[in-house]
Amino acid sequence: MIRVTVKESADRISSFEMSGHADFAEHGQDLVCAGASAVSFGAVNAIMELTGIEPDIQQGDSGLLKVAFPDNLDTKIDEQVQLLVRAMIVSLKTIEQDYGQYIKITFTA
């Protein structure tokens, strides 16, 4: 199962972590894994390209992706980052709606 944990406090998402594999289908055929990966990497790339910020990114085995956004961003830039990361979450929730046994999104403070 893909587990996505979003850290949010005071209406601001400060980080997210994605780990695991959907195991929906065999490697290379797994639509859930491919969709979640495309959405998350696309969002991170868009944030970097469109806002010019460099989030702290860690990648590892078992599909691990950790992304933390800087705290001290200009208000306008932070609003853009928040919009893009929230759009990512909407897309991941859409995947979760149809494939909830393969992907789970949780929110922490």
What pTM did the predictor assign? 0.93
d(CA 108, CA 34): 25
Catalytic residue among 7, 21, 66, 86: 21
d(CA 35, CA 88): 11
User: CATH classification of 2-108, choosing from 3.30.70.1490, 3.30.1330.40, 3.30.420.480, 2.30.40.10?
Assistant: 3.30.70.1490
Write down the H helix ranges in the chain: 31-51, 75-99
Q: Are strands 2-9 and 103-108 parallel, antiparallel or unpaired?
A: parallel
pLDDT digits (tens, 9 = 90+) for 8-63: 998 899 999 999 999 898 878 899 999 999 999 999 999 999 999 999 999 998 88
The mean per-residue pLDDT over the stretch 74-79 comes to: 97
pLDDT for the residue 85: 98
Nearest-CA neighbor of 43 among 77, 73, 16, 75?
A: 16
pLDDT for the residue 38: 96
pLDDT for the residue 10: 87
Catalytic residue among 2, 32, 33, 85: 33
| Residue 21 annotated to the active site | yes
d(CA 91, CA 75): 24
Domains of the chain, residue spans? 2-108
